[in-house]
Amino acid sequence: MRVLVLAAGMGRRFGNSGRPKVLERLLGLPLLERVILTVREAGPSEFCVVVGHSNGEIINALGDGSRLGVRITYVNNEDWEKGNAYSVLAAKEVLNGDRFLLVMGDHQFDPEIIRRLVEIRISEGCVACVDRNLSSVFDVHEATKVLLEDGKVRDVGKNLGEFNAVDCGIFLCTSDVFSAVQECVARGQGELSHAIALLARQGKVRAMDVKGAFWFDVDTPGDLREAKRRILRALSKKEDGIVSKSINRRISTRISARLAGSGITPMQMSILSFLLGLLAVPFFSSGQYPFLFAGGMLIQLSSILDGCDGELARLKFRTTRRGGFLDSVLDRYADAFMIISLAYGYWRIAGGEFVWLACLLALSGSFAVSYTRARYEGVFGTGIRPGGIPATRDVRIFLLAVGAFVNQPLPALAVVGVMSNAEAIRRLIRWR
């Protein structure tokens, strides 16, 4: 399926920053590039970008799309000042007759919206993505309002008196959209929303609620800051543990935001996090207090950076299965090194056999928690349900780090061992 991207406007409300709005950088990437990469993540890879204002700069920046793994055809809209309906019309010949996606070059959204949208079968009119959760819309005043009735769009417009949703600027279209745009343009109505309203009054616009999925219209520098905040917030995962939620993600997302524009790859972050964990080994092995403290700092730092590889991959649209595999296996080895060196250091200083029992418990429990999760995903095809005893990696490492900080490695190992084995056994028994 081909994708029509409207990027001809000048972005008046954004003010004069010296470059076209769609090339403004958000977390390391130009807005327009993020739009294209978001759609590509959901599948489609053939793009038709309509340019007008600053067309040369945009074409220079994106090229033929091969750098982004897509194919881009450009259409020039000389009438860009008259409204975005003219941009749609300019692409009519290129998109001859097929169904196509229509997105705005300055909107940001969750690829999940596109994944669900392309599954819908239509033969006439279009499907408009709408957000019914008005309280989450950042700037309702500036939004295009939508009146829904029985899953269909009844009316669309910026100044609607009655409305129950907001237009997200993402459409699945048939060629009916071109006819409607043509009719509107003939009447002197230059905005795409006029054409959608026309189709809506003919009962030809279905609505798809985004159901809480992220989307954002970037019109002003303030919008850009808010979009950044929301994208970073969306980097947390619902399966994140309690330490991750309250400490690690807050720091790691800030680091990832800084690194998003750099050349550092997710895999380099995986390896850096692993090496920091290894660096703790000599400190832990010494068994001496001030060194233990330093080791604790190192493993907690490693745990924080362990979030950056995935975050960076998502921010750069470079998530790969291989990266996820590598990261998780390195984590298991880092876990083993931390636990064993902490036990060894304690044994060297204090002796006794009990520390080895605690070590073996912590080692097998840590592995078992990770193994049950991985195996569950492989067997059932879905993630294990959150809940149960908090023994995720963030919590386990935090407990070990605290144990090192207060010079009590043995209780820390014992607690990690008991909690993680208890959680693994819980998963084994209640495996629904």
Question: For binding to its own copies (CB under 8 A), which residues are involved?
Answer: 321-322, 324-326, 328-330, 332-333, 336, 340, 356, 360, 363-364, 367-368, 370-372, 374-380, 424, 427-428, 431
Decide if 134 contacts 173 (C-beta within 8 A).
no
Residues 6+ apart with CB under 8 A from 335: 363, 366, 367, 370, 393, 396, 397
Four-CA torsion 79, 81, 87, 89, nearest 10 degrees: -50
In angstroms, what is the minimal distance from the CB of 381 to its own copies? Answer: 8
Residues 6+ apart with CB under 8 A from 386: 238, 239
In angstroms, what is the minimal distance from the CB of 303 to its own copies? Answer: 19
List, in sequence order, the alpha helices (H) in 245-384: 249-259, 266-286, 289-305, 308-315, 321-350, 354-380
Decide if 257 contacts 231 (C-beta within 8 A).
no
Nearer to its own copies, 33 or 331 (CB): 331
Nearer to its own copies, 156 or 410 (CB): 410
Nearer to its own copies, 247 or 271 (CB): 271
Q: Is the dihedral of CA 20, 26, 28, 30 positive or negative?
A: negative
Nearer to its own copies, 141 or 322 (CB): 322
In angstroms, what is the minimal distance from the CB of 308 to its own copies? Answer: 19
Nearer to its own copies, 83 or 417 (CB): 417
The CA radius of gyration of the chain, in Å to the nearest whole number, is: 26
Residues 6+ apart with CB under 8 A from 148: 130, 132, 154, 164, 165, 207
In angstroms, what is the minimal distance from the CB of 336 to its own copies? Answer: 5
Nearer to its own copies, 376 or 405 (CB): 376
> In 3D, which of 24, 222, 200, 232 has the Cα closest to residue 141?
222
Kindly list the distances between the CA atom of residue 252 and the CA atoms of 58, 269, 297, 301, 328, in Å, as whole numbers in the listed order: 32, 11, 15, 10, 17
Residues 6+ apart with CB under 8 A from 239: 383, 384, 386, 392
In angstroms, what is the minimal distance from the CB of 44 to its own copies? Answer: 22
Kindly list the distances between the CA atom of residue 383 and the CA atoms of 5, 220, 370, 386, 404, in Å, as whole numbers in the listed order: 35, 38, 12, 9, 32
In angstroms, what is the minimal distance from the CB of 363 to its own copies? Answer: 6
In angstroms, what is the minimal distance from the CB of 375 to its own copies? Answer: 4
Q: 287 in the Ramachandran plot: left (φ > 0), alpha (ψ -120 to 50) or beta?
A: left
Decide if 395 contacts 242 (C-beta within 8 A).
yes
In angstroms, what is the minimal distance from the CB of 264 to its own copies? Answer: 21
Nearer to its own copies, 289 or 325 (CB): 325
Nearer to its own copies, 367 or 405 (CB): 367
Nearer to its own copies, 132 or 332 (CB): 332
Residue 247 is classified by DSSP as I
Provide the terminal-to-terminal Cα distance of the chain, rounded to the nearest Å: 38
In angstroms, what is the minimal distance from the CB of 359 to its own copies? Answer: 8
In angstroms, what is the minimal distance from the CB of 372 to its own copies? Answer: 6
Nearer to its own copies, 11 or 345 (CB): 345
Nearer to its own copies, 58 or 369 (CB): 369
Give phi and psi for 326, each to the nearest 5.
-55, -50
In angstroms, what is the minimal distance from the CB of 248 to its own copies? Answer: 21
> In 3D, which of 205, 135, 191 has the Cα closest to residue 166?
135
What residue type is assigned to position 173 of the chain?
C
